[in-house]
Every structure is written in C-alpha cells, then in structure tokens.
C-alpha cells in the first residue's frame, strides 16, 4: 500500500522508505483505556526530561516531592551513576556555550540548594504547559499560549513569552555559528504556513505510521524555524506529542519520547541537524531523527 501524500506546504517529499522504517516500530501500538494517574505521571516525566535536555539539574525524586508538596527535600540529593552521567553531559553542553562551571562546582550547587526553587518552578511550568495541551485543541494561538505558560521562568521579559523573537538567532558551539535560523521578519509567515499544514493534517485520515512521521517532522521544523528567544526545544517536543495525541489518542501522552531524547541527547542533537541555514535545509537527511520517536515505544532505560 502506498503512503498517502497530504498536499501540504512542508511535506511534499514523503518517502516510502521512511514510512516502512517507522512502521516496523509501531505496529503493536494500541490505544489504551484512559488512566488519569498514568497520564499525569507521564506528563510530569515529559516535562522533567524535556527540561533536563536543556540542562536543568533538578533530580526527578526531588522534583516529585516539590511538585506535590511545594517544597524540596532538605537532605542532600543522592546522585546515582546515571544522574552523574547526565550532570556531566549538561555541564559539558554548558561549557560549549561558554559557561566555565566544572562538574565539582555544579555538584556543590546541588548540595547547597542554590536557586533550586527557580529550577523546580521551571519544570512545573513546563508540566502545566503539557496539561494545557492535553486539554486543548492544537491551533496556532493555543501553541503560543502553551509557550507562554511553559516559558515563565525561562524568559524574564513577559513580552517574549508566547511571542516571536524580534532579532536574528542561531545555534552556536565553540567553533561559532553552526545553524542560522529563519529571519525574524519571516517567522510569522513561516509559523502560519506550518500551522496551515497542521490544520490540514489534523483533518486528514492518517495511518499510524503517517501520524508518527508527521509528529516527528513537526518537531524538526519548529526547531528549524526557531521562533522564540528561548524554549524552542521544549516547545518543539511538546508540539510533537500534542499533534500525535490529537491523531492517535491519549496513549500518546504516555510515550516516553522526552526521556529517550534525554538518554540519547548526542544522537538527538546530531540527528536534528539538517544543514547550516534554514533556507538550505536538506529534509532528505531526516530519517534518523524520524525514527527516534517510534523507538521510544520499545526503548529500555
């Protein structure tokens, strides 16, 4: 059976090999009866790991205590081997951006609880953004509202929460600019084009493979447009899950995609890079990234 090609503005190069590759990972997925407790737990973990990808140091057990009680444990955090791996990765990532903090200094930061409430609030706001998405249809205005909710601690100036950036932006490493995002003047048009596609896709009868395909592709395109001054990755990971839930039901919220991206962060960043300039992106290179979401169904953590 040939893959349906939805005549959208972005997705005009749907490759059959991509559908086949994705389909191998998701044929067993079945909708499950709604389980509010499991969904809430999944939303909390999604917010936690999405924030963790961007370097948030809070430990999951400590965050759960904060989430349900409003306070953080007074004892020093117990850091497991895997937590230390994450901390080392986060510190290294920050070092690339020019932050001189060492792992030892960072561990002391955790022990002293400096600014921990702010970091925990950041996760709670992302969780609230996920809750908002769970209870609202995916539209352009709703997406901006979700970003406004989840970026409260990320963005100091409220004018840029849920609003497009007003200056040029890109992704940098120690060698300089590695990706140039779409220009500030073009963001509004690009976002309208993207959500015109999303509206059409939401009305289309998509197969399971197609739903996963488009969800991942939306994640990647949003990252490339880079519409916000901060929180683009978090918003893109939410967009992916939000679209998938609209197409396959509430079971989508329980897929641990954010946890997989966190555990495979190097692959996540490598696979999402499709070129050095928004105007020269090669979407023919996107298959490795498209396969990450369906692999979250069977990954062992």
pLDDT digits (tens, 9 = 90+) for 131-140: 899 999 999 9
Structure confidence at residue 164 (pLDDT): 97
pLDDT band at 165 (very low <50, low <70, confident <90, very high): very high
Instruction: For residue 126, give both structure tokens.
Output: 């992302």
CA distance 235 to 222: 8
**pLDDT tens, residue by residue, 227-248:** 999 989 989 999 999 999 999 9
The pLDDT of residue 126 is above 50: yes
| Range from 164-173, 189-198, 255-264 that averages highest in pLDDT | 189-198
The pLDDT of residue 77 is above 70: no
Mean pLDDT (whole number) for 194-208: 91
Q: Is 27 exposed, middle or buried (0-12, 13-18, 19+ CB in 10 A)?
A: exposed
Of 6-15, 100-109, 255-264, which range is least confident? 6-15
Q: Is residue 125 within 8 Å of residue 199, measured between CB atoms?
A: no
For residue 191, which of 119, 278, 277, 111 has the smallest C-alpha distance? Answer: 278
Structure confidence at residue 95 (pLDDT): 55
**Host H or E run for residue 170:** strand 170-173
Structure confidence at residue 19 (pLDDT): 54
Structure confidence at residue 17 (pLDDT): 54
The domains located in the chain, with CATH, are 16-50+121-295 (1.10.3290.10)
* Degrees, nearest 5: CA angle 257-258-263: 95
The pLDDT of residue 98 is above 80: no
**Host H or E run for residue 28:** none
Of 23-37, 45-59, 245-259, which range is least confident? 23-37
pLDDT band at 12 (very low <50, low <70, confident <90, very high): very low
Structure confidence at residue 7 (pLDDT): 43
For residue 194, which of 1, 6, 8 has the smallest C-alpha distance? Answer: 8
Structure confidence at residue 172 (pLDDT): 81
Task: Indicate the average pLDDT of the chain.
Answer: 78
């Amino acid at each position: 059976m040939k893959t349906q090609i939805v005549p959208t503005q972005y997705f005009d190069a749907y490759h059959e090999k991509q559908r086949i590759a994705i389909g191998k990972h998701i044929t067993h997925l079945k909708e499950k009866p709604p389980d509010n407790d499991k969904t809430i737990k999944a939303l909390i973990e999604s917010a936690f790991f999405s924030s963790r990808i961007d370097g948030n140091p809070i430990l999951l057990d400590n965050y759960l205590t904060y989430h349900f009680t409003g306070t953080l444990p007074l004892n020093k955090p117990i850091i497991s081997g895997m937590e230390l791996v994450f901390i080392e990765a986060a510190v290294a990532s920050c070092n690339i951006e020019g932050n001189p903090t060492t792992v030892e200094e960072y561990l002391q930061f955790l022990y002293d609880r400096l600014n921990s409430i702010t970091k925990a609030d950041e996760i709670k706001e992302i969780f609230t953004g996920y809750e908002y998405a769970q209870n609202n249809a995916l539209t352009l205005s709703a997406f901006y509202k979700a970003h406004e909710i989840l970026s409260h601690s990320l963005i100091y100036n409220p004018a840029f929460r849920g609003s497009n950036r007003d200056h040029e932006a890109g992704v940098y490493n120690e060698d300089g600019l590695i990706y140039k995002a779409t220009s500030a003047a073009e963001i509004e048009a690009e976002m309208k084009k993207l959500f015109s596609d999303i509206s059409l896709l939401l009305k289309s009868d998509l197969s399971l493979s197609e739903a996963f395909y488009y969800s991942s592709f939306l994640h990647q395109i949003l990252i490339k447009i880079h519409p916000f001054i901060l929180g683009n990755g978090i918003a893109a990971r939410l967009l992916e899950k939000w679209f998938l839930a609209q197409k396959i039901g509430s079971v989508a919220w329980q897929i641990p995609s954010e946890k997989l991206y966190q555990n495979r962060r190097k692959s996540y960043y490598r696979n999402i890079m499709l070129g050095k300039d928004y105007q020269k992106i090669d979407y023919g290179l996107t298959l490795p990234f498209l396969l990450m979401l369906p692999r979250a169904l069977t990954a062992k953590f």
